[in-house]
Structure 1
């Protein structure tokens, strides 16, 4: 897994969303630069479709949803809808699986102020859907809670200051 570097994360709020609201319909678009390793997070009431590279489709989308009255963070990683062959889909799937912890750390850390007003969401489950026409690369996986990813980011900051 690549290491999370807070200084390489840029966060943009799309109005009317702010660092503190809303919970319902709060959506995240996380993209990155392969060249610089920078992460770009957009937070709003809709996904930041302008930030998505439709040729690469290497973004992670997520939003807060309720299931049976409880909130969960539901992420999506696009593997293939048939435009990538099975081998390329396998490679994409493996890369997404390998880098998902980094992506979720950036997504959660980038919205850390949000949890000040909603601390109970720190223990909400995170699920990520890997979407593919190939059944072996199509799944929904559990990824822990936001608290886990804030702890990862906090440890990285502590490690950095001790160097």
Structure 2
């Protein structure tokens, strides 16, 4: 019931923001409302209510698709899907960040998550390719360190086990 109420509140907020009867707000007010909605949805995510957060981030993109936070919202959509085990959906969402927001600060994180999603889906070759891309394109990032560890883990799993004969 609580989750339905939260999703309902998000839908009502979106309907009010999209309503043609409300005059256009000044630029600063729109930024304030986009930030408030984004922060509210992030609270859902932090409380691990991924369904509500997913709905909220989708609403955010519908209402504030051109804001500076749109790329982040798209990333968090993928993160919600990933955490719910919807790896194919998460792949599409993370690829959207890479494709539609080429200047986003979430590029390294999205590329890493693409690799992690491929790992979950059992496609080690594509996963390795994405991890290597993170290391090559973002070598000094925290994501590159995680990608290096993922590559090392993949290497350890793929190395043949030496058998000794006595």
TM-score (norm 2): 0.28
Higher strand share: 1
TM-score (norm 1): 0.29
The higher radius of gyration belongs to: 2
Asked which structure has the greater RCO (Cα within 8 Å, sep 6+), the reply is: 1
